[in-house]
Amino acid sequence: MLKNYFKIAIAVLKRRKFFTFISLFGISFTLTILLVLTAFIDKVVGDNYPDKKRDRSLYISRISQVGKDATSSGPVSFYFLQHYAGSLKTPVKIAISSGFNGTNTYVNNKKIAVNYKYTNAVYWEILEYDFLEGKAFNKQQVDNADKVAVISADMKKQYFGDVPSVVGQYIEADNVKYRVTGVVKNVPITSYMTYSDIYLPYTVAKDGDYKNNKGYQGGYFGILLANSAGDVDKMHKEYEQMVSRLRPTEKWATNVYSHADTYIKAYVDTGDEKHSGTFIAITAISIFAFILMILPTLNLVNINITRIMERSSEIGVRKAFGASSSTLVYQFIVENIILTLLGGVIGVILSFIVLQIINSAHLIANLELNINFMVLFIGLLVCLVFGLISGVYPAWRMSKLNVVTALKAQ
Amino acid sequence: MIRLQNIEKVYRTDTVETLALNKVSLEIAKGEFLSIMGPSGCGKSTLLNIMGLLDEPSKGEVKIDNQKTDNLSDKLLAQFRNKKIGFIFQSYHLINDLQVLDNVELPLLYRSTTAKERKQLATEALVKVGLSNRVKHFPSQLSGGQKQRVAIARAIVGQPEIILADEPTGNLDSAMGNEIMDILLQLNKNDGTTIVMVTHDENMAHKTHRLVRLFDGSQVQ
């Protein structure tokens, strides 16, 4: 039975190629927009692991020195965070971490690419990583410059294989062996301020940048934690005031800019003072795109009605030879689901291409979108719902058609 | 086999009421080959559709195999048609998107059969109508006579006791028409299938056991 439905569905698709194209285009285009949009929202807004205290946190990701002809912009220095941000009264804690750096390590002569970052001890108090085993390194260990490490679950699997526990074992990175104190759940690379494979105390950093670099710019990020969500505004203002008092360290520079922003603002902060509305623009475009999606949906329902009505003679014949109304509804729904799933597959492929283009075009600094399985699952579910919505009504209407009328329609 | 009692069919629009069938009573015995004749619009096809449970009479009773058919649900009617009746239409009504074999298998889809059984039965039916070499063709690749043979194969594949044929030779030239008529006569003779055929062709009608004439919705012979 299903094979027969499949055959007829494919035959119908081939019969009216233009309709098929419009239907498939409608579904795949809609799904592509949906997948790209959700991939974006999912990564930037939705995923609050491990910084679950976002409502009372402000993020310092960049500092810029701007002159008449030049701009220097980048992550802040450890000194800046400790000395300037550390002098603020409102924050109760400051998490400091470096950006992640890449290196290679070897296990059984197999090369593994490893990203590591340095953090202070408070980092582990503000950010709520899920420890699968062990725990974070403490202040004492940081102060002592102990060679200890927290690693991600992925790193554990890659480096040690499928073993129950690795706490106390040693992992080598950048030619130094570190003792593992804990294993945390993976953080997606898109959360670039918290992602890493290996987390190390900042005091073990070989370059000594944390103590030698007294400039504003360096390789670190900061997270300021307020006592409550109500204090965030106050904390923001205090930070802005502190930055406004800063004098440029470069001769050519006239102004220093840095912001302690909410996660999203900090995330899309490109250091460009004139275009801080990037996120607002993207949101507006996304909403616009979402509204646009309603059109292909309605179009699909309309096309399906036309398509099914065209087949009234076939419906008459099927009824004459023993198909009940419910059997026919079932057939049309199956056919429609085949169509929408086909559109879904094309949509997923299109999404991959579009995401690839968005990623490679670097529309937003460090934003890397990818389809996760949840989004894919939702996308396919949306396809099925499309199939049902756009198929059920026309099928039901058609199945109720009088056989004699249906047969005359040819 | 088929018993119609005082069948009336009225078509109503907002302003006009048309009496398509007026108190038609007819009894068709098992194994009989009956033809219905009459001018266009006299209600022949309407009568055939009512016999085939494709249409409901406005008044009167239809019994098939001594079973009353009014008040049957959509599902039961569908089952009834599937098991008891095979249809042949003037314009064939084959599904153009399906190959000959799939077209013939159609009635078997709506009963519990395996794909293998369906294929076997459909092939046998096509052998009976002399089209076993066209199974992979699509309807658009066949001549009118061949299409009608496929339609006959589809009508007989489920081995129904009744075949209702609405002008089966109406679209064919006389040679083709005769071939189709021969097949129907064989079915009636060899398998004992009850056949009711609507036709405009006196010659064809005279080959059947009995002829019923309709005029303006009433039975005149």
Complex confidence, ipTM = 0.92
Chain A residues within 8 A of B114 when measuring between CB atoms = none
Using CA atoms, how far apart are residues B57 and B50, in angstroms rounded to an integer? Answer: 6
Tokens linked to A400? 């109720």
Q: Are B53 and B164 in contact (CB under 8 A)?
A: no
Average pLDDT, chain B: 90
Contact by Cβ (8 Å): A175, A38: no
Q: Is B97's Cβ below 8 Å from some Cβ in A?
A: yes
Question: Distance between CA atoms of B48 and B36, rounded to whole angstroms?
Answer: 9
Decide if B55 contacts B9 (C-beta within 8 A): yes
Interface test with B, best of A318, A321, A328, A334 (most B CBs within 10 A): A321
Mean pLDDT in residue range A254-264: 87
CA distance A325 to chain B (A): 7
Q: How far out from the chain centre does Cα A347 lie? A: 19
**Interchain contact A302–B (C-beta under 8 A):** no
Does A327 reach chain B within 8 Å, measured CB to CB?
A: yes
Q: How far is A20 from chain B (nearest CA, A)?
A: 15
If DSSP codes are grouped into helix, strand and coil, which group holds residue A161?
coil
Q: Is the pLDDT of residue A310 over 60?
A: yes
Chain A residues within an 8 Å CB radius of B104:
none
The reply to whether B81 touches chain A by the CB within 8 Å rule is: yes
- Contact status, residue A44 vs residue A267, Cβ threshold 8 Å: yes
Tokens of B167: 């002008």
The answer to which of A46-55, A137-146, B20-29 has the lowest mean pLDDT is A46-55
Instruction: For residues A381-397, give the mean pLDDT.
Output: 75
Strand partners for A224: A58, A94
SS (H, E, C) A60-124: EEEEEEEECCCEEEECECHHHHHHHHHHCCCCCEEEEEECCEEEEEEECCEEEEEEEEEECCCHH
Cα separation, B143 vs A59, in Å, equals 78
d(CA A148, CA A182): 9
Q: What is the pLDDT of residue A46?
A: 63
pLDDT band at B57 (very low <50, low <70, confident <90, very high): very high
Query: What is the distance between the alpha carbons of residues A172 and A166, in angstroms, rounded to a whole number?
Result: 13
B51 and B164 Cβ atoms separated by less than 8 Å: yes
Quick one: which H or E segment has residue A148? strand A148-152
**Overall average pLDDT of the B73-97 stretch:** 89
Listed in sequence order, the DSSP H helices in A204-324 are 209-212, 232-244, 263-267, 278-309, 312-320
**A6 in B contact zone (CB under 8 Å):** no
Enumerate residues 6+ apart whose C-beta is below 8 A from B21: B7, B8, B9, B43, B46, B47, B50, B57, B217, B218
A316 to chain B: nearest residue by CA? B93
Inter-chain touch B54–A403, beta carbons under 8 Å: yes
Residue type (1 letter), A69: D
Contacts of B75 in chain A (CB under 8 A): 324, 326
Helix (H, G, I), strand (E, B) or coil at B10: strand
What number is the average pLDDT over the span A190-218? 89
Q: Tell me what the mean pLDDT of segment A326-354 comes to.
A: 83
DSSP labels, B170-218: TTS-HHHHHHHHHHHHHIIIII--EEEEE-S-HHHHHTSSEEEEEETTE
Pick the more confident residue, A337 or A227.
A227
- Picking from A324, A404, A410, the nearest residue to B74 by CB comes out as A324
Q: Would you place residue A39 in the very low, low, confident or very high pLDDT band (cuts 50, 70, 90)?
A: confident
* pLDDT tier at B90, thresholds 50, 70, 90: confident
Least confident of A278-282, B17-21, B96-100: A278-282
CA distance B39 to B41: 6
Residue A365's pLDDT band, with cuts at 50, 70 and 90, is very low
Q: Give residue A26's pLDDT band: very low, low, confident or very high (50, 70, 90).
A: confident
For chains A and B, count residue pairs whose Cβ atoms are closer than 8 Å.
Answer: 76
Please name the residue of chain A whose CA is at the shortest distance from the CA of residue B81.
A322
Cβ of B87 and A12 within 8 Å?
Answer: no
Other Cβ atoms closer than 10 A to B179? 16
Bridge-partner residues for B12, per DSSP? B17
Say yes or no for a CB contact (<8 Å) between A15 and B74.
no
Whole-angstrom Cα distance, residue A80 to residue A97? 12
Q: Region A305-314: what's the mean pLDDT? A: 80
Tokens of B85: 């009746």
B215 DSSP β-pair partners: B218
Contact call for B93 and A316, based on CB within 8 A? yes
Other beta carbons less than 10 A from residue A102's beta carbon: 10
Please tell me the least confidently modeled range out of A82-91, A261-270, A361-370, A397-406: A361-370
Helix (H) or strand (E) segment spanning residue A357? helix A325-361
- Mutation target to probe the B interface, by most B beta carbons within 10 A, among A6, A308, A317 is A317
Spatial distance between the Cα atoms of A217 and A210, rounded to a whole number of angstroms: 11
Q: How far apart are the first and last CA of chain B?
A: 20
Query: Taking a C-beta distance cutoff of 8 angstroms, is the pair B48, B212 a contact?
Result: no
What confidence tens digit (pLDDT) does each residue in A62-74 have? 899 998 888 888 8
pLDDT of residue A142: 94
B98 contacts chain A (CB < 8 A): yes
Q: Nearest residue on chain B to A403, judged by CA atoms?
A: B54
B115–chain A Cβ distance below 8 A for any pair: yes
pLDDT at A292 exceeding the cut of 70: no
* Residue B90 touches partner A, C-beta closer than 8 Å: no
Domain boundaries, chain A: 2-47+279-408, 71-251
Please name the residue that has the structure tokens 């199945």.
A399
Mutate to test the interface with A, among B73, B74, B99 (most CBs of A within 10 A): B74
Lowest mean pLDDT among A13-17, A75-79, A83-87, B50-54: A13-17
Q: What is the mean pLDDT of residues B104-124?
A: 90
Of A167-171, A234-238, A353-357, give the lowest mean pLDDT range.
Answer: A353-357
Choose among A11, A320, A326: nearest Cβ to B98: A11
B9 in Cβ contact with B58 (< 8 Å): yes
CA Rg value for chain A: 29
- The verdict on B55 touching A (C-beta cutoff 8 Å) is yes
> Could you tell me the pLDDT band of residue A348, with boundaries at 50, 70 and 90?
confident
d(CA B211, CA B204): 10
Predicted local confidence at residue A269, as pLDDT: 63
pLDDT at position A290 is: 63
Question: What token pair was written down for A157?
Answer: 């699997």
Task: Decide yes or no: CATH 3.40.50.300 for domain B2-219.
Answer: yes
**Nearby residues of A161 by Cβ (< 8 Å), 6 or more positions away:** none
User: In this complex, is the C-beta atom of B160 within 8 Å of any C-beta atom belonging to chain A?
Assistant: no
Relative orientation angle of helices A17-41 and A373-399, to the nearest 10 degrees = 140
Nearest to A322 among B81, B94, B98 (CB): B81
Asked whether the beta carbons of residue B93 and residue A326 sit closer than 8 angstroms, the reply is: no
Q: What angle do CA A203, A61, A205 make, to 5 degrees?
A: 15
Nearest CA-CA distance, residue A319 and chain B, Å: 7
Alpha carbons within 13 angstroms on the beta-carbon side of residue A331 total 24
Q: How confident is the model at residue A366 (pLDDT cuts 50, 70, 90)?
A: very low
> Any CB–CB contact under 8 A between B149 and chain A?
no
Q: In angstroms, rounded to a whole number, what is the distance separating the alpha carbons of residues B36 and B50?
A: 14
Q: How many helices (H) and strands (E) does chain B have?
A: 7, 10
Chain B residues within 8 A of A407 when measuring between CB atoms: 54, 89, 93
Q: Would you state the pLDDT for residue A277? A: 54
A3, B89: Cβ pair inside 8 Å? no
Mean pLDDT of B153-177: 89
Mean pLDDT over the full length of chain A: 83
Q: What is the pLDDT of residue A187?
A: 83
pLDDT-derived band at B28 (thresholds 50, 70, 90) equals very high
